[in-house]
Structure 1
Amino acid sequence: MKFIVSSTALLSHLQTISRVINSKNSMAILDNFLFRLERNKLTMTASDQETTMTTSVEVIEAEGEGLFAVNAKILLDPLKELPDQPLTFEIDDNNLEIFLYFQNGKYNFIGVNGDEYPQKMPLSDSAITFKVEAQQLLNGIGCTLFATADDELRPIMNGIYMDIFPENVTFVSSDTHKLVRFKNAAIQPGVKASFILPKKPANLLKNILPKEPGEVLVTFDDKNACFTLTNFVLNCRLIEGNYPNYNSVIPQSGPNRLIIDRSMFTNVLRRVSVFSNQASSLVKLQLQENQMVVSAQNIDFSTSAEETIECNYSGDNLVIGFSANYLIEILNNIPSQQIVLELSDATRAGIILPLENKENGELLMLLMPMMLTDF
Structure 2
Amino acid sequence: MKFIVSSSVLLKNLQHINGVVATNPIVPILENFLFRIEVGPDLSGGTLTVTASDLQTTMTTQIPVEASESGSIAIPAKLLLDTLRSLPEQPVTVNIDTETFGTEILTDNGRYKLSGENPIDFPKLPTVNKNMSVDMSSDILLSAINNTVFATSTDDLRPAMTGVLLQLNDDNATFVATDGHRLIRYRRTDLNASASTSIIIPRKALQLLKASLPENVPVTAEFSQANASFTFGPTQLICRLIDERFPDYENAIPTNNPNVMTIGRTDLLNSLKRIMIYANRTTHQIRLSLKTNSLTISAEDLDYSNEANEKLLCDYDGDAMEIGFNAKLMAEVLSNLSAKMISLEMSAPNRAGLLIPADKEENEDILMLVMPVMLNTYA
| Shorter-normalised TM range | over 0.9
CA-to-partner distance for each residue in 1:296-341, whole Å, 9 max, x for gaps?
1111111111111111112000110000001101100111011110
Match of 1:369 among 353, 356, 372: 372
Structure 2 match to 1:64: 69
How far residue 137 of structure 1 moved from its aligned partner, in angstroms, is 1.1
Structure 1 match to 2:138: 134
Structure 1 match to 2:27: 27
**Counterpart-to-counterpart distance in 2, 1:301 and 1:36:** 61
Letter in 1 for 2:74: A
Tell me, yes or no, if structure 1 residue 331 matches structure 2 residue 337.
no
* TM-score normalised by length of structure 1: 0.97
Structure 2 match to 1:357: 360
Structure 2 match to 1:206: 210
Match of 1:243 among 231, 241, 246: 246
Structure 2 match to 1:13: 13
In the alignment, structure 2 segments of 5+ residues that lack a partner are 40-45
Tell me, yes or no, if structure 1 residue 42 matches structure 2 residue 42.
no
The answer to whether the Cα contact below 8 Å between 2:340 and 2:359 also exists between their aligned partners in 1 is no
**Counterpart-to-counterpart distance in 2, 1:184 and 1:43:** 34
Structure 1 match to 2:42: none
* TM-score normalised by length of structure 2: 0.96
**Counterpart-to-counterpart distance in 1, 2:376 and 2:226:** 45
Letter in 1 for 2:29: I
How far residue 212 of structure 1 moved from its aligned partner, in angstroms, is 5.0
Letter in 2 for 1:47: S
Structure 2 match to 1:104: 109
Q: Secondary structure at the match of 1:222?
A: coil
Higher mean C-alpha displacement, 168-177 vs 105-114: 105-114
Structure 2 match to 1:4: 4
**Counterpart-to-counterpart distance in 2, 1:219 and 1:195:** 12
Tell me, yes or no, if structure 1 residue 174 matches structure 2 residue 178.
yes
- How many residues get paired? 372
Higher mean C-alpha displacement, 295-304 vs 171-180: 295-304
Structure 1 match to 2:43: none
**Counterpart-to-counterpart distance in 1, 2:310 and 2:353:** 21
Q: Secondary structure at the match of 1:274?
A: helix
In the alignment, structure 1 segments of 5+ residues that lack a partner are none
Letter in 2 for 1:200: K
Structure 1 match to 2:189: 185
**Counterpart-to-counterpart distance in 2, 1:295 and 1:190:** 50
**Counterpart-to-counterpart distance in 2, 1:253 and 1:338:** 21
Q: Secondary structure at the match of 1:93?
A: coil
Q: Secondary structure at the match of 2:267?
A: helix
Match of 2:286 among 265, 269, 283: 283
The answer to whether the Cα contact below 8 Å between 1:256 and 1:344 also exists between their aligned partners in 2 is yes
Letter in 2 for 1:157: M
CA-to-partner distance for each residue in 1:28-84, whole Å, 9 max, x for gaps?
10000000000110000000011000001011x212110101001111101101111
Match of 2:152 among 139, 148, 152: 148
Structure 2 match to 1:53: 59
**Counterpart-to-counterpart distance in 2, 1:173 and 1:334:** 15
**Counterpart-to-counterpart distance in 2, 1:310 and 1:97:** 69
How far residue 9 of structure 1 moved from its aligned partner, in angstroms, is 0.4
Cα distance change, pair 157–51 in 1 and its aligned pair in 2 (3 A):
same
CA-to-partner distance for each residue in 1:123-156, whole Å, 9 max, x for gaps?
336x222211111111111100010001122100
Tell me, yes or no, if structure 1 residue 295 matches structure 2 residue 301.
no
Q: Secondary structure at the match of 1:320?
A: strand
CA-to-partner distance for each residue in 1:204-239, whole Å, 9 max, x for gaps?
011112x15432111112211111111210011110
**Counterpart-to-counterpart distance in 1, 2:145 and 2:306:** 39
Letter in 2 for 1:64: E
**Counterpart-to-counterpart distance in 1, 2:128 and 2:12:** 29
Higher mean C-alpha displacement, 246-255 vs 337-346: 246-255
The CA RMSD over aligned residues, in Å, is: 1.2
Structure 1 match to 2:347: 344
The answer to whether the Cα contact below 8 Å between 1:297 and 1:374 also exists between their aligned partners in 2 is no
Q: Secondary structure at the match of 1:300?
A: coil
Q: Secondary structure at the match of 2:139?
A: helix
